[in-house]
Amino acid sequence: MLESLVRKNNTKIILVVLDGVGGLPVKEGKTELELAKTPNLDALAKVSALGLHLPVDYGITPGSGPGHLGIFGYDPVKHQIGRGILEALGLGLEVKDTDIAIRGNYATAERSEGRLVIKDRRAGRIPTEENRRITSKLSQAIGEIDGVKVFFSAGMEHRVALLLRFPEELPEGSDRIKDTDPQKEGLEPIVPKGENEHSERVAHVVRELLQRVEGVLSDEPKANYLLLRGFSQKPKMESFEERFGLRACAVAVYPMYKGLASLVGMDLIDFEGQSIYDQITALRDVWQDYDFFFLHVKKTDSYGEDGDYKGKVKIIEEFDEHLPELLELKPDVLVITGDHSTPSVLKGHSWHPVPVLLHSPYVLGGTSQRFTERECLKGELGIFPAQKLINLMLAHSLRLAKFGA
């Protein structure tokens, strides 16, 4: 229904995602947002619509994929992104409709009496440096198998992402292949088999790949084998522009978030540097070219995951300092929120509703003093499903026609 009401105009919308911004009391009963000194956010909060969004459902802790899909207006339960795809996006691989993405673990295997047995599923958690050397060796040795291009990208420790790029788009279900990881040491790896004719074609390539990997890594003392998991295809999603009529771009530093934005068809903006200042500068440079700007700040989440509440507070304060630069652009709608909460006390993502600030001329405002969890509870938006944020952004930019007469 929403899509049928969308119309276009010249308004501009900025969506700032302070990753994992929501928190819990951490010191003197105050959350990270409450501890942060944020004069600019405070002033904006007083004249904005506030509330909290529920990323997936009550009590559900979202990963980065569902967290972002929700605030982009896509049902995060309907559009599940395969593990292989997320790993590949996170390691900076561009994923196409012709690709099968896979998560890999370097492992230690041993051949005895003709049987290949897994001795260590993580190859002794080899150092990342070692991983890079081995991955580079594989990349050089295996570029293509039966006309299918193969890409490797090293992750942390024993982790690696793989892409198989076929010559043409793959039918749905081509990723129906079980993990090769036997889940226990002392067992043989599971031979990849397709569950249908399309995935069997992929499995055939994977079996040949594994044979070649074994050959290339045969003289490695630890990482002499590769276990594969999370075979997945790029999910079919209508683009952000098709659904919402918005020419959208992403100003993000980390590959995972660039990847998520590109999944819904946002353009990725290249820029120098990694700071919030650099990001805002990049956004300003393309201000004329887009309707919708997704600005992703990663470090609120990173510090939250580390349990470093002071670090998280500092990043919130750093964003606050640069907020006036965003406001100078005079966006018609400015939304500041997170994709989920990452309370420092939990050292990880959590299920708690996420503070939302929506600035526009068409709000009540005057409900709250600050942009914090508790002040957002007093706001005019209430607690609402993340997926409805796009409705609100479109409505406040006057991009939705009336429903019914």
Q: Is 3 in the site for a second copy (CB under 8 A)?
A: no
Residue span binding a second copy (CB under 8 A) among the ranges 22-30, 124-132, 160-168, 235-243: 22-30
Residues 6+ apart with CB under 8 A from 122: 105, 106, 107, 157, 158
Q: Is 245 in the site for a second copy (CB under 8 A)?
A: no
Cβ at position 56, least distance to a second copy in Å: 6
**CB neighbour burial string for 130-146, b if at least 16 within 10 angstroms, e if fewer:** bbeebbeebeeebeebe
Cβ at position 9, least distance to a second copy in Å: 14
Q: Which residue carries 């503070």 as its tokens? A: 355
What phi and psi values does residue 278 have, to the nearest 5 degrees?
Answer: -60, -40
Residue span binding a second copy (CB under 8 A) among the ranges 52-60, 192-200, 271-279, 327-335: 52-60
Q: Which residue carries 């060796």 as its tokens? A: 137
Collapsing DSSP states into helix, strand and coil, what is residue 291? coil
Q: Is 378 in the site for a second copy (CB under 8 A)?
A: yes
Residue span binding a second copy (CB under 8 A) among the ranges 57-65, 191-199, 278-286, 322-330: 57-65
Collapsing DSSP states into helix, strand and coil, what is residue 386? helix
For a second copy, the binding residue among 11, 13, 20, 31 (CB under 8 A) is 31
For a second copy, the binding residue among 168, 186, 221, 405 (CB under 8 A) is 405
What does the angle CA 26 – CA 49 – CA 346 come to, to the nearest 5 degrees? 20
Q: Is 344 in the site for a second copy (CB under 8 A)?
A: no
Burial of 149 from C-beta contacts in 10 A (0-12 / 13-18 / 19+) = middle
Cα→Cα distances 197→33, 165, 172, 178, Å = 53, 18, 11, 14
Tell which residue, 181, 197, 208, 220, has the closest CA to residue 84. 181
Q: Is 1 in the site for a second copy (CB under 8 A)?
A: yes
For a second copy, the binding residue among 76, 104, 189, 331 (CB under 8 A) is 76
Side chain identity, residue 119: K
Q: Is 391 in the site for a second copy (CB under 8 A)?
A: yes
Q: Is 187 in the site for a second copy (CB under 8 A)?
A: no
Q: Is 380 in the site for a second copy (CB under 8 A)?
A: yes
Q: Is 2 in the site for a second copy (CB under 8 A)?
A: yes
Residue span binding a second copy (CB under 8 A) among the ranges 139-147, 275-283, 297-305, 341-349: 341-349
Sheet holding 13-18, edge to edge: 267-268, 248-251, 292-297, 13-18, 333-337, 354-359, 49-54, 382-385
For a second copy, the binding residue among 97, 156, 183, 362 (CB under 8 A) is 362
Query: Measured from the CB atom, is 187 or 364 closer to a second copy?
Result: 364
- List interacting residues with a second copy (CB under 8 A): 1-2, 5, 24-25, 29, 31, 56-66, 76-77, 80-81, 83, 86-87, 343, 345-346, 348-353, 361-367, 373-374, 377-380, 382-384, 388, 390-396, 400-405
